[in-house]
Amino acid sequence: MFENATKQLRETVEAALPELNTVVGWRAGYDPLHMTPVFIKNAGDLSKLEWSPFCVQNLSGYLVKDPAVRAQDPSKKIGICVKGCDSRSLVALIQEKFIERNQIHVFGIPCRGTVDWRRVMKLGPLTGIQSARVEESRLVVEDANGGHTFALEDVLARKCLRCAHPNPVIHDVLIGEPVTPRVAVENSYGEVERMEEQSLEDRLGFWKKELDKCLRCYACRNACPLCVCQDRCIAETREPRWLTQRVGTSEKFLFHFIHALHLAGRCTECGECERACPMEIPVTLIKEKLNKITLELMSYEAGMDPEAVPPLLTFNPGETGL
Amino acid sequence: MRIGVFVCQCGTNIAGTVDTQEVARRAGNLPDVAYATSYMYTCSEPGQQEIQRAIREKNLQGVVVAACSPRMHEPTFRRAVERAGLNRFMFEMANIREHVSWINNDREANTRKAAELVEMAVAKLRFNQPLFSSQISVNKRVMVIGGGVAGIQAALDCSDGGLDVVLVERKSSIGGKMAQLDKTFPTVDCSSCILGPKMVDVVQKDNITLHAASEVESISGYVGNFTVEVRKKATYVDWTACTGCGACIEKCPSRKVPDVFNENLANARAINIPFPQAIPKKATINRDYCLHFTKGKCGTCQKVCPTGAVNYEMQDEIVTEQVGAIIVATGYDLFDASVYGEYGGGRYADVISGIQYERILSASGPFGGHIKRPSDGKEPKDIVFIACVGSRDASVGRPYCSGVCCMYIAKQAILTRDHLPDTRVWVFYMDIRAPGKNYDEFVRRAQEEYGVQYIRGRVGKVYPKGDRMVVQGNDTLLGVQVEVEADLVVLATGIEASAGARELAEKLRISYDQYGFYMESHPKLRPVETNTAGVYLAGVCQGPKDIPSSVAMGSAAAAKVQALFSRDTIETNPQVALVNERVCISCGKCIQVCPFGAIQWKELRGGIRKAEVLPSVCQGCGLCNATCPPKAIQLQHATDNQILAEVNALCA
Amino acid sequence: MSGSNSVPVTEQGMKIVGFLCNWCSYGGADTAGVCRFKQPTDLRIIRIPCTGRMDPLFAAKSLIYGADGVLVSGCHPRDCHYAVGNLYARRRLEVLKHFLPFMGIDPRRFHYTWVSASEGQLWQRVVTDFSEQIHQLGPNPGIGAESEIFEKLGN
Amino acid sequence: MHAHNPYLPELATIQEVIQETHNIRTLRVTLDDAEKMRDFTFRPGQVGQLSVFGVGESTFVINSPPTRKDYLQFSVMRVGEVTQRIHQLNAGDQIGVRAPLGNGFRYEDMKGKDILFIGGGIGMAPLRTLLLYMIDNRSDYGDITVIYGARSPKDLCYLYEFEEWRAGNINLVLTVDAEFPGWNERVGFVPTVLKEEAPSPKNRLALVCGPPIMIKFVLFGLKELDFEDHQILSTLEKRMKCGIGICGRCNMGSKYVCLDGPVFSYSELREMVPEM
Amino acid sequence: MSGKAFIPRDSLGAALDRLSKKIEVWVPAMSEEGRWGVEFLPYRPGMRPVLDRQSTLSPKRVVFPQMETLLRFEYIKDPDDPAKVKFRLDDGQEVKPQFVFGARPCDVRGFFTFDRVFTEGPFVDGYYRNRRASTLFATLVCGEGDAACFCSSVGSGPADQAGSDLWVTPVDGGYVVEALSERGREYVALLGDAPSELQEAAARKVQEEAAQQQVGDPDLVKSAPSFRGRFEDLDYWRSMVSQCLGCGVCTYVCPTCYCFTITDEGKDLKGERLRSWDSCMFAQYTSEASGHNPRPTKLERYRNRVGHKFSYFPEKYDGMIACCGCGRCIRSCPVSIDIRKVVQELKEKANACA
């Protein structure tokens, strides 16, 4: 079912390509379960472009992170393919003036969910994967031992199972029909709520165990489209020196506090931090909690309105609820 | 670094409950501490000399004094270490008196706490850097915003001191509220007689530039170097040509224009000079009523003007003024009495406000100084004054006392009895506030000499009965209900912040209180300064006050400006934010949050821009520092590393 | 405090870090001192120019590294020496307060409040109440300095 | 492990601190272990890692010559955290030293040759070592010309030694970027002064050290004067940690500046990957 | 002692229990139930080793921990004069014997890169050398290669015994263990009884099959010499690594990446000098105090990483490649960058240009 979508994406991009300098999209990766970002510069590259539930990466970061994708020809725009969640990162970046809306051309793709390859492998076992495709609500993988079928619900990424915004919030062109959201935002924090029901000690134990695995490889940070400090991140600097090189749980806690609090009121829950983590630490959950807080305290949802001011960069003198 | 620690005994103030010897001993065990001692009175002259001797003999590079609050003696010790050759920022204080010895008697716990506070101070000091002030040049022109009596006084004082002054007035004439007054308390001298000469002085001074009918559009820059854009509103009369002859006014066919100066008790013309003593005495067209503008068919004034000054095509003009300091004297507005529906203000013609009565009393007022009531022009036989209308009443959001009403009621009552000795006067009041020189005597005169009836109590209701008004209230002293029939009711409306005060405050980046009055730097010790360097306050814009206080404040603000301008340069406070351009990610969040507009973009080569702090504007709050994600902007002397050092000294 | 002191924490009192703005609350604490209003001895005050300077991470760092409590105090809203610093701080600190328990840190160990320079008595109450609360909670169990794997390697 | 642990610094004591310029200080240190101090041998151009315990280590060239063994000298420019702390140290304070590290100049091969030193700013430090060594063995070398430049006279190091250098039969050419009251030497950028001096490349080695921009133009100048690549030597600077060719960061291709350098000939540099 | 043992599958736990009483044992185990990833963890009774897939993290940290203390320092103050301070340094290291059970040939091969750098001079890193010398490897004959594996491309293979002390061959019903070194031999008997001939034969068959396997394109190594020619071809590097996020996953999971940093941590009068993993993919790694960075962006950094592994290292160490073909960098990369492709296309592009 995604052959058609890919075809439509290629055609749409092709039509817009003369006006664009580069289009950031996805192409096949090293095996059928993996896609990798691709930067389409001319029509000859179009055949690489793909769309499928394996297109997991949020590409918006490439527009702002050094060396950022920029139009060499100022009269042209940068094209970018986004899923619903990805588009919210774009909105946040526009809001913070890292991107100008009129300098990008957004190919929006309504999305029914992306596949978490680790969940597939866990259900496996799979060896020598030859093909993988999503058919309706099933994932079909062929490997050396033949075909395997998985229920899509069992292999979707965690963030997709609680997706409230499957349709791009901003787009210049929409590829495919809008999708009905799985849940409303208010109801998308089930996992956070389950954590909240635990005792303080259990939560501490949970995070100590999880965060202790952190390698501080900074994949979560670098994969985050809104972690705009990049090489200047205070997790690594000595001026100022927030963290040491100690491999201690406290250090890891503080690193994730820094990461999360810098995203408070900004995170769009694209889940890239969690997906990038080689140790499978549920780091997006931390930001989900912060988003739940800003939603409850300030009725703010990040990445929805390009004109809005992130809640921690402003104040309301009269607010007494706080 | 070689650090010296001096633990003050403060006589027994500290040593009484803290083992200062032990604190000093433990300090000696801290890294970089090369000298530690305890001293009887460190702030005394010999104490300071001891510090200076140690700096020289022990070759100290930083000093910690553990003593009283830094809010008390930090400047003292900074000067002391500076005299011994250290930079004054290579100094830290640990507060072991107010925060330790005075709040608990447990000697052991206190000693431990003091030692830890010293450890924190030492830890911070290890990250201190010498900081240096820089000099910025001062443009010795001053702008006064508001041409009421406070602004006029400030302008004249500055002018007398030889400064160039730019006076900006929103209305077409200066004079402010005082110009509308008939007489002033407690001397009962003629308001325009004492104010008029000052107004005339303003135009006669060569070094005062007056922009009337003008408003401040925008303000940028910082102390010593402000750039102010002033919007000169279109008056449709070329004031350089207008002689103020009044020919146009006489001939203007639009005659039903509310006379604002007379508080709408009379009519004016669409082209008008607000009052005979107006400065500048120039005509202004009111577009809302001028037939040329409303109907597009009159041109009388243009025809009759002997100097051809009328120009219907006139546009607003923006004038840019460069000044080094700004005095804000924007005055006040009066409370809208109609908020109290039960008093009937605004509903009944014979229920009027104090300022309206002031115009009625005035010889140049709508009735030529004859006391008549607005409804039918009859002389009132009974007049009731109601005090505290929009003052001392939290239910209308005005819990404060307006300070002048008791006095102007007394004045108006006295004047009433002077004009109409047979007229009876009642005053409903809550308390009499008359704390000024000769004020209480004045109120007593009203009561005792002039027979004014003071009734202590709130008025519940005012309603018409025939052609008179009935005032129903309590006499709380007698504990009885009172009803007074009156021909005229005067509501002593209180003072409120000027409309537009908040908007101007945002432009000036000064703060205001919940009522919109501007905030002074310190309510006792810095009453005319604001927290924005180079911006001063005068008059009622800061809070209710009477004429002498306003005038005094105008002079005080002028004196502050003179002091500021007495030097060619200003020394900046080095405890400001500083951007490390290599780390700045150009996100602009610091610019977004800075309450003072002290951060701006700096364009570098290649279209790159970085945040840049204007050290003379920065007030050192550190909000930018807390906001900056990569911590590229650091508040000097309270950097992340310095605060972290203190935190780490405690928890790590 | 490590090194010089070897008495167990409980006997030494609690480690409470205070972040006080220079203009209001530090002054308030001074006023309380001048008035000799008796207070517990657990609090160690760090003077900051304004609560606007207060990066919530300072509080987070303190608690993660074993502070038993963190108390932030500034000027009352609308009374900020810098006009609005505390209004930003209010949002940031409130978010932190809600966030801490999610990570397993007791939110009762963190408190922020507003005390003016004249409110010595209020300050006394704030310090007394908060210190009492921390004593009731006992020492902060903390996060633990080293990971298990690291310990295995014999460092 | 003590005996051979290359990460373990020797403790040394600062004997003297000289404030050279507003941001450069020279430390003269002696190793606390008298025997090690006596046996300490090194080559001009070799470096040492100075430790401020609790802050870290940083690399500096040993700029006293092996012929003068009363102390080891390091000139330290204040640029980062470690150098900031080193600047706070005083005579009598202890410091850690790991030295000698790196390759140094092959002065044996320079015997009988004319030498041209070209130094800019703090870049004079590594050259000073070799210069003093040559002064101490003056008869082994031919003409020695030193072109030393700085932004202003206040930025020149070793002012107090210039007389000694000149007395050692050194042709010392001093220059500053712009006119300065009381300055009687040359004015102009180092590459310009080089052009004016125009030393002959015949049987001569040029040793260049200074800021990258100066090196770049000096190289052009030397090529114009027909110096060949192998006649030009320079020292490289990279961020270093271990100083012993293990931690990985100071590589240019397969060469490690800490181990294979810091001294490289221009012909060697051209062979290396261009990653300055 | 036959030097061989058979561990029945259901007795693996018991065998490891016996082993762990004598020596610290590390096994690949699930860090969290229900997840995919596996890492080497200190064995505790009851722990279930996961031997059916490659570990996310290689056993690198067993020998080269993410952080270790190089030395401890202390400021000794003169009690009579706080200005007088002396230092005390201590570089003592305590190393316990360790046994890694369930490594794979690629994991073990990774240490060969370390050995060249850390132990072959001119300076010898005693911390590494001591730990290396006291660590044994019981290595699995590898049968579960996936699309990211390429051990054959770097001269190794699923049955590469180099560097292992014991050889563990999974057969029906259990594991045949065989000593490859003298120190390995000491532990064989502890693990189980001698295998039957049938079991030995089965093991031989598995080993032979594994040895036949070609995992990855053998041309990879031959592409490496083209590196220098492509060094300044920035378009090439851009086209290959524009999608790189600049994180350090690839280097942290890599069994051969050995780069580290040294930092001092102190409190009061005591402190430590620490050595901890660093990554050439981080900007701070080469960033100088002046702010200058010779490798300012991910392009230069990724290029250096490829160069180091496939060009600089072989140039310095007799043609040896600093890559063990484990494929972890590909598998863990959040954007699935494939280093094989980057290296292979060096040559293709170079040829195309020539």
B589: Cβ contacts below 8 Å, ≥ 6 apart: A96, A313, B624, B627, B628, B629
d(CA E205, CA E171): 9
H/E element, E319 = none
Q: Say yes or no: B560 and B584 in one domain.
A: no
d(CA C18, CA B647): 10
**Position with higher pLDDT, C134 vs A321:** C134
Cβ–Cβ < 8 Å for B49, B76? no
Which domain does B357 fall in, by range?
Answer: 333-496
pLDDT at site B46: 96
Q: Say yes or no: B348 and B483 in one domain.
A: yes
Interchain proximity D88–B1, CB inside 8 Å: yes
C and D interact (at least 3 Cβ pairs within 8 A): no
pLDDT at site C151: 59
d(CA B642, CA A210): 31
**Is pLDDT at E353 greater than 60 in this prediction?**
no
pLDDT at site C1: 35
E269 neighbourhood in chain C, CB within 8 Å? 3
Report phi then psi at B631, rounded to 5. Answer: 60, 40
Distances (CA, A) of C8 to B5, B214, C1, C11: 27, 71, 11, 6
pLDDT digits (tens, 9 = 90+) for D118-151: 999 999 999 999 999 999 999 999 999 999 999 9
Q: Which chains touch D (3 or more CB pairs under 8 A)?
A: B, E
Chain E nearest CA to B34, separation (Å)? 4
A314 neighbourhood in chain C, CB within 8 Å? 88
Mean pLDDT (chain E, rounded): 92
The total of structural domains in chain E comes to 1
Cβ–Cβ < 8 Å for D230, D109? no
Which domain does E72 fall in, by range?
Answer: 4-353
Task: Tell me the pLDDT of chain C (155 aa) as tens digits.
Answer: 333 333 344 457 899 999 999 999 999 999 999 999 999 999 999 999 999 999 999 999 999 999 999 999 999 987 888 888 999 999 999 999 999 999 999 999 999 999 998 899 999 999 999 999 999 999 998 887 665 655 555 44
Q: Say yes or no: B321 and B195 in one domain.
A: yes
Torsional sign, CA B454, B460, B463, B465: negative
Q: Say yes or no: B466 and B373 in one domain.
A: yes
A206 in contact with B, Cβ within 8 Å: no
pLDDT digits (tens, 9 = 90+) for A128-151: 899 999 988 999 999 988 999 999
Residues of chain B with pLDDT under 70: none
The total of structural domains in chain D comes to 2
pLDDT at site C6: 37
pLDDT digits (tens, 9 = 90+) for E147-181: 999 999 999 999 999 999 999 999 999 999 999 99
Distances (CA, A) of A227 to A92, A103, A220, A235, D219: 11, 21, 9, 12, 42
- Is residue D191 a part of any domain in this protein? yes
Q: Which of E261, E300, E311 sits opposite D241 (nearest CB)?
A: E261
- Is residue D273 a part of any domain in this protein? no
pTM of the model: 0.86
E284 neighbourhood in chain D, CB within 8 Å? none
Question: Domain spans of chain A?
Answer: 2-113+163-174, 189-313
The total of structural domains in chain B comes to 5
d(CA D51, CA D31): 13
Position E347 confidence tier, pLDDT thresholds 50, 70, 90: confident
Chain B nearest CA to C149, separation (Å)? 21
E96 neighbourhood in chain C, CB within 8 Å? 154
Q: Say yes or no: B553 and B605 in one domain.
A: no
- Is residue B79 a part of any domain in this protein? yes
**Is pLDDT at A86 greater than 90 in this prediction?**
yes
A12: Cβ contacts below 8 Å, ≥ 6 apart: A107, A173, A175
d(CA B264, CA D114): 101
Interchain proximity B104–C80, CB inside 8 Å: no
Q: DSSP states of A178-212 as a string?
A: ----SS-GGGS-HHHHHHHHS-HHHHHHHHHHHHH
Interchain proximity E82–B582, CB inside 8 Å: no
Mean pLDDT (chain D, rounded): 93
Q: Say yes or no: B176 and B263 in one domain.
A: no
Position E354 confidence tier, pLDDT thresholds 50, 70, 90: very low
Which domain does D32 fall in, by range?
Answer: 2-101
pLDDT at site E351: 52
pLDDT at site C7: 39
Report phi then psi at B246, rounded to 5. Answer: 90, 0
- Is residue D265 a part of any domain in this protein? no
To which residue do tokens 């009052």 refer? B275
Interchain proximity E42–C149, CB inside 8 Å: yes
Torsional sign, CA E284, E285, E288, E294: negative
Interchain proximity B29–E269, CB inside 8 Å: yes
pLDDT digits (tens, 9 = 90+) for A257-284: 999 999 999 999 999 999 999 999 999 9
- Is residue D136 a part of any domain in this protein? yes
Q: Say yes or no: B320 and B338 in one domain.
A: no
CATH code of the domain in which D131 resides: 3.40.50.80
Q: What is the DSSP letter of E195?
A: P
- Is residue B310 a part of any domain in this protein? no
d(CA C63, CA C130): 15
What does the block give as tokens for C99? 């966030």
Interchain proximity E89–D9, CB inside 8 Å: yes
B229: Cβ contacts below 8 Å, ≥ 6 apart: B216, B217, B218, B219, B318, B319, B320, B321
Interchain proximity E267–C2, CB inside 8 Å: yes
For B640, the closest chain A residue by CA position comes to A240
pLDDT at site E121: 80
pLDDT at site A3: 80
For E25, the closest chain C residue by CA position comes to C152
H/E element, E272 = strand E270-277
- Is residue D175 a part of any domain in this protein? yes
Interchain proximity C153–E267, CB inside 8 Å: no
Q: Say yes or no: D17 and D134 in one domain.
A: no
A172: Cβ contacts below 8 Å, ≥ 6 apart: A16, A105, A106, A107, A108
The number of residues in chain C equals 155
Q: Which is nearest to B181 in space by CA: B193, B170, B172, B173?
A: B193
- Is residue B358 a part of any domain in this protein? yes
E75 neighbourhood in chain B, CB within 8 Å? 31
E11 in contact with D, Cβ within 8 Å: no
- Is residue B527 a part of any domain in this protein? yes
CA D190 to mean position of chain CA atoms: 17
- Is residue D275 a part of any domain in this protein? no
H/E element, A140 = strand A138-143
pLDDT at site E321: 93
d(CA B283, CA B213): 11
Interchain proximity B622–C67, CB inside 8 Å: no
Q: Say yes or no: B513 and B482 in one domain.
A: no
d(CA E258, CA E61): 10
Enumerate domains of chain C plus CATH numbers.
14-152 (3.40.50)
Last residue within a domain, chosen from D101, D119, D137: D101
**Is pLDDT at E182 greater than 90 in this prediction?**
yes
Q: Which is nearest to B55 in space by CA: B87, B29, B22?
A: B87
Interchain proximity D275–E294, CB inside 8 Å: yes
The number of residues in chain B equals 652
Q: Which is nearest to C75 in space by CA: C65, C64, C61, C89?
A: C89
Q: Say yes or no: D136 and D182 in one domain.
A: yes
CATH code of the domain in which B484 resides: 3.50.50.60
H/E element, A262 = helix A249-263
Q: Which of D25, D84, D88 to mutate to test the interface with B (most CBs of B within 10 A)?
A: D88
Q: Residue type at C60? A: A
Quick one: A318 exposed, middle or buried, by C-beta within 10 A (0-12, 13-18, 19+)?
exposed
Number of Cα atoms under 13 Å in the Cβ half of residue C61: 27
Percent of chain D clearing pLDDT 70 (strictly above): 99
- Is residue B643 a part of any domain in this protein? no
Q: Say yes or no: B488 and B397 in one domain.
A: yes
Interchain proximity C155–E69, CB inside 8 Å: yes
Number of H helices, E strands in chain C: 6, 4
Report phi then psi at A279, rounded to 5. Answer: -95, 5
